[in-house]
Amino acid sequence: MKPTDTKDPEYFHKVVDCQYACPAHTPVPEYIRLIAQQRYTEAYMINWESNVFPGVLGRTCDRPCEPACRRGRVEEEPVAICRLKRVAADNKGEVKHLMPQGPFEMNGKKIALIGGGPASLTVARDLAPLGYEIHLYDEWNKGGGMMRTQIPAFRLPEQVLDEEVNYILDMGVHTHFNTFVDSMKGILDKKYDAVFVGTGAPKGRPLRIPGYEEGKDNIHIGIEFLAAVAFEHRETVGGKVIVLGGGNTAMDCCRTSKRIGGEEVTVVVRSPRKDMKASSWEIKDAELEDIAIFNNMPPKEFVIENGKLKGVTFGKVRAEYDENGKRSLIPTGESDVFIEADDVIIAIGQDNAFPWIEKDLGIEFGKWEIPVLDKTTFQSTLSHVFFGGDAAFGPENVITAVAHGHQAAVSIDLFCKGESIHDRPDPMTNLVSQKMGIHEWTYDNDIAADLRYQVAHADKSVTLKDRKMEVELGFDHIEGFKEAQRCLNCDVQTVFTTNLCIECDACVDICPTDCITFTDNGEEADLRTRLSAPAENLSQDLYVSEILPTQRVMLKDEDVCLHCGLCAERCPTAAWDMKKYLYNVTKAYQ
Amino acid sequence: MSYIKPAFHHPSLKPNKVGYLKKDYRGVISTLCAGCGHDSISGAIVQACYEISLEPHKLAKLSGIGCSSKTPTYFLSNSHGFNSVHGRMPSITTGANMANKDLIYLGVSGDGDTASIGMGQFVHAIRRNLNMVYIVMNNGCYGLTKGQDSATADFGSISKEGNANPYQAIDLAGLALELNATFVGRSFSGDKNQLVPMIKAAMSHPGFAFLDVISPCVTFNNTKTSTKSYSHVRDHIEATSTLDYVPFEEEITVDYPEGESAEVELFDGSKIHLSKLAPDFNPTDRFTAVNRLHEAKSKGQILTGLLYINPESKDLHNLMGTSDKPLNQFKQKDLCPGSTKLEEINRAFR
Ligand SMILES: Cc1cc2nc3c(=O)[nH]c(=O)nc-3n(C[C@H](O)[C@H](O)[C@H](O)COP(=O)(O)OP(=O)(O)OC[C@H]3O[C@@H](n4cnc5c(N)ncnc54)[C@H](O)[C@@H]3O)c2cc1C
Ligand SMILES: Cc1ncc(C[n+]2csc(CCOP(=O)(O)OP(=O)(O)O)c2C)c(N)n1
Ligand code: SF4
Ligand code: SF4
Ligand code: SF4
Ligand SMILES: [Mg+2]
């Protein structure tokens, strides 16, 4: 193998598993350490710089970081990264003065943002301080997009959302609320220097099986149902409710129903439990509220009696997978099941919809009405029109929308300056030794062996009565500290200097997880079998030194390094050093 | 920051046959200087015990005084141990071994602890073929007392203190051969590939297994002018063979080229497989070993590898015909048969 190029900004970035997996690349361990030190305001600001909505995300994020977390590979569960973010948000002090303060010196350029969700708001956050005049259009009366219309208040209190949306709107954004943009041409005619489309994936899929038309009054589309509840257009639902679908929308629909009159609420999913799209914790939370979930039951018919919905008939299937893992649902031959219902909510997916974009403007669309875009720049086939968030590649989540927003803002800024949007600035990186003295490092390597802490819930006898009452109570200071101490500090990198090494093996012997090996060089696949412990996780890199005096190389498997620093501690020549790596993804304002 | 070892281990390192993880063979964090060769030898002992699936309570580690003699704290925390006085490890081991022949005895000593103050004890343990592994962590100096030249320091070698050593060195491996030790090996702390199988083989040898392991002292004796420094040893090392230890229950799976290899079967049915680097070297022939050692020395080379093994070794218990049942398992009733019996015995001598 060739020596590792640690100058490549992505090498050490990849070692920080959580940050690498986070679409917005939030410097997770950096904020977790600040939480342990009770420096909540600073922890909040680190988040805010990266993900714009720490309070929202600390409650609702899809947490792609957690399955990636290294802690989950050395023990049972990852660090509760997401809920720690909430600790920072809940306990922060005054933050507004730490954010860019208007009025900003205007640069004469005007930008339109269509849709007021997290993607558009992120573009606004990045471009307003640079002097752009921002015009934000949304059909609703407030900003936030689906964070407001879809995520129920018992998971995300309105004041938390308002606060973080307002930090951005207060930067001098011109809002055009209650305005559904029904013509892209109309927007283009207004001669904005650039247009960003952040309209989400606003169309809920219907389910056209027999009985649909007749039962319509009591058959609802999930996202429309949730929006109606959020805006208080709907205050009740029937006593018996069936929710169709196995994703997070279904979980929000059933839990919402339970709070506005639903007594017997059942979720019915056509596929097996393990294929359900909903996050495991959302499923668990629904079940804690006594909601039954039935699997392997595809709906066959809405049963209508006297012109009114009576219930739904379901078939029974089992899943079979071919060698490519492709699933087919095979009827088991058992008799159909009928479940009674006053209301049925369909939550089986969302689609993009751009009926308001005229087809002759030069903005091309591909399959399923997905716009044709450059994956890095988010530019459409009409050069000054950009897309981001769910509108870009289909429904994702808030953090992905934010990540898109940051990158689209970089493109828009370069575009407006007349520069190439493909020559993007490098991410900001910094690698600094953490050594302070003998046995003294700036970070606390005394990680806790504790299992993951669980977030307490308010009593359901109370929460089920009030749809706006938040269920999760969040970690208190002490739990926050203890959970933070589980983090392995993966950003404190082990950095090797070949010409200092005397090959004494001290690092090999001390390493608690047998990460380090000195051996003859070879091909990667072969080397992976010849290490102190086999390196079976192919997604994790091997760190390879240059050739040592004995003609061997030092190989370190990054997989389960605890970043404890013992290698550096025991190295007589400081050939190992522990250096903190800060990586800030490219942003328009950096 | 604190200087503590996290409790986690590598998830793909599975428990061995007796259900222990490698970390179960470790000790507390070493307090020796960072980079000390002794720590690598501790690491090799941990590795060897994990690989042969030793049950930790079946081993006793004994030592004298010195940095080397401190190392038993840094490995096998779940085994028995005795840290004796300077140079007295062999007699303590003899006593322990006589009382309980069921344990594996691992003696750890230094070149000072063995070649100076403990020399008398050392040679008698060899003479008796006491069943033990005797490791000398040989750094050519008294590390613990700040690096004075020891009796194994080579003539002319210059440590950090700065004066050439005026005395001839005692070659402990040569001496052990001379005294008819039944297992003699030499290795280097920086060569675990050789050292680990050698420790395993030594542990299955029934009798005195002596390992002279060169182990650089990073603080006092790792100068370019010292013959026990990392760089000098690496530049002058010469191996008789590389070896593989194959436990009794395991098949030999590697194909060794004929003529270039030798196999020695040990008492317990396990095998040592040697890929010979020196073609005419025979590890069961003491004379070649002695000659080779001298030859290498005259060329300034450090000969390593398994130098000699006597497959017919009979240990002290065997020589003395002691009971099969370990002494410590006898009850007072058996050991002290009463005055009538004593009277009877005494009468027999009249
Ligand atoms: C029920 C449900 C629960 C969810 N829960 C979570 C969760 O817990 N965590 C998570 O990370 N993600 C969750 N999501 C997904 C998340 O809400 C979206 O991925 C995210 O909000 C997308 O952001 P966006 O900026 O692309 O657009 P959106 O948030 O969808 O915002 C787009 C806005 O544009 C408006 N709009 C659309 N067309 C026009 C137009 N022509 N003119 C004017 N305005 C227009 C829309 O009304 C909307 O307000 C959930 C989604 C649903 C449906
Ligand atoms: C009876 C007695 N004499 C002298 C000493 C002082 N002393 C302690 S360690 C040591 C030498 C140790 O040298 P060595 O065995 O080579 O161990 P190293 O520290 O080099 O590993 C001496 C002389 C002592 N502890 N006890
Ligand atoms: S242990 Fe900490 S730094 Fe490492 S991946 Fe998990 S959260 Fe990130
Ligand atoms: S920091 Fe060093 S000693 Fe600690 S786990 Fe990583 S490689 Fe091993
Ligand atoms: S401890 Fe330092 S000098 Fe020794 S082998 Fe490791 S990196 Fe090299
Ligand atoms: Mg010594």
For chain B, domain boundaries? 22-319
Of residues A144, A146, A147, the one with CA closest to residue A165: A144
Token output for B257: 């080229």
Residues 6+ apart with CB under 8 A from A74: A488, A513, A560, A562, B8, B9, B11
How long, in residues, is chain A? 590
For A478-517, the pLDDT digits (tens) are: 999 999 999 999 999 999 999 999 999 999 999 999 999 9
Query: Hey, how many other C-beta atoms are within 10 angstroms of the C-beta on A163?
Result: 16
For A253-271, the pLDDT digits (tens) are: 999 999 999 999 999 999 9
Average pLDDT of the residues in B209-221: 96
Task: Give the full edge-to-edge strand order of the sheet including A516-520.
Answer: A516-520, A552-557, A542-544
DSSP E strand stretches across A138-247: 174-176, 194-197, 203-204, 219-221, 240-244
Query: Hey, how many other C-beta atoms are within 10 angstroms of the C-beta on B54?
Result: 21
Of residues B110, B161, B156, the one with CA closest to residue B136: B110
Q: What is the dihedral of CA A39, A42, A48, A51, to 10 degrees?
A: -60
Query: Hey, how many other C-beta atoms are within 10 angstroms of the C-beta on B236?
Result: 14
B1 pLDDT more than 50? no
A492-584: CATH topology:
Alpha-Beta Plaits (3.30.70)
- Taking an 8 Å cut-off on Cβ atoms, the answer to whether B10 and A514 are in contact is yes
For B58-101, the pLDDT digits (tens) are: 999 999 999 999 999 999 999 999 999 999 999 999 999 999 99
pLDDT range class, residue B247, cuts 50, 70, 90: confident
Min distance B230 CA to chain A CA atoms (Å): 7
Domain with CATH 3.30.70.20 in chain A: 492-584
What is d(CA A390, CA A581) in angstroms, rounded to the nearest whole number? 31
Token output for A479: 């739990």
What is d(CA B278, CA B289) in angstroms, rounded to the nearest whole number? 11
Q: β-strands A552-557, B59-63: how paired? A: unpaired
Correct CATH for B22-319 of 3.40.50.970, 3.90.1170.40, 3.90.550.10, 2.40.30.20? 3.40.50.970
B260 pLDDT more than 70? no
pLDDT score for B256: 59
Domain with CATH 1.10.1060 in chain A: 9-97+429-485
Ranges A122-131, A203-212, A436-445, B250-259, most confident:
A122-131
CATH architecture of the domain covering A9-97+429-485: Orthogonal Bundle (1.10)
Measured in Å, residue B118 CA sits from the centre of ligand 2 at: 10
Mutate to test the pocket of ligand 5, among A571, A577, A578 (most ligand atoms within 8 A of CB): A571
* Inter-helix orientation angle A398-416/A118-127, to 10°: 40
Token output for B8: 């986690």
B2 pLDDT more than 60? no
The secondary structure element, H or E, covering residue A309 is strand A308-314
What is d(CA B147, CA A218) in angstroms, rounded to the nearest whole number? 90
- H helices of B8-118, in order, are 37-51, 67-70, 89-99, 111-115
Average pLDDT of the residues in B319-343: 91
- Taking an 8 Å cut-off on Cβ atoms, the answer to whether A445 and B2 are in contact is yes
Average pLDDT of the residues in A366-393: 95
Correct CATH for A103-202+352-416 of 3.40.50.300, 3.50.50.60, 3.40.50.720, 3.30.70.380? 3.50.50.60
pLDDT score for B12: 87
pLDDT range class, residue A368, cuts 50, 70, 90: confident
Residue in this structure with the two tokens 């001598």, named with its chain if needed: B349
A85 pLDDT more than 80? yes
The phi, psi pair for B8, rounded to 5°, reads -75, 155
The answer to whether residue A245 neighbours chain B at the CB level (below 8 Å) is no
Identify whether the C-beta of residue A141 lies closer than 8 Å to the C-beta of residue A158.
no
Q: Measured between alpha carbons, how far is residue B344 from residues B330, B339, B347 in Å?
A: 21, 8, 5
Interface of B with A (CB under 8 A): 1-13, 22-23, 29-30, 33-37, 39-40, 42-43, 46, 189-190, 192, 216, 218, 222, 230-231, 234
Residue in this structure with the two tokens 């390094």, named with its chain if needed: A561
What is d(CA A124, CA A357) in angstroms, rounded to the nearest whole number? 22
Amino acid at B29: I
What is d(CA B32, CA A155) in angstroms, rounded to the nearest whole number? 55
Domain with CATH 3.50.50.60 in chain A: 103-202+352-416, 204-350
pLDDT score for A353: 87
Q: How much of chain B, in percent, has pLDDT values that exceed 90?
A: 77
A469 pLDDT more than 90? yes
Q: What is the mean pLDDT of chain A?
A: 95
B160 pLDDT more than 70? yes
Residue in this structure with the two tokens 């993007």, named with its chain if needed: A424
The answer to whether residue A501 neighbours chain B at the CB level (below 8 Å) is no
Identify whether the C-beta of residue B25 lies closer than 8 Å to the C-beta of residue B56.
yes
pLDDT range class, residue A325, cuts 50, 70, 90: confident
- Taking an 8 Å cut-off on Cβ atoms, the answer to whether A572 and B35 are in contact is yes
Q: How much of chain A, in percent, has pLDDT values that exceed 70?
A: 100
A204-350: CATH topology:
FAD/NAD(P)-binding domain (3.50.50)
Interface with chain B: mutation pick from A510, A529, A532, A580, highest number of B CBs within 10 Å: A510
The phi, psi pair for A29, rounded to 5°, reads -60, -30
Residues 6+ apart with CB under 8 A from A90: A40, A55, A58, A474
Mutate to test the pocket of ligand 1, among A398, A399, A407 (most ligand atoms within 8 A of CB): A398
Identify whether the C-beta of residue B59 lies closer than 8 Å to the C-beta of residue B79.
yes
Identify whether the C-beta of residue B211 lies closer than 8 Å to the C-beta of residue B107.
no
Identify whether the C-beta of residue A346 lies closer than 8 Å to the C-beta of residue A220.
yes
What is d(CA B15, CA B262) in angstroms, rounded to the nearest whole number? 31
Token output for A276: 């359900």
Q: What is the mean pLDDT of chain B?
A: 92
Measured in Å, residue A572 CA sits from the centre of ligand 5 at: 7
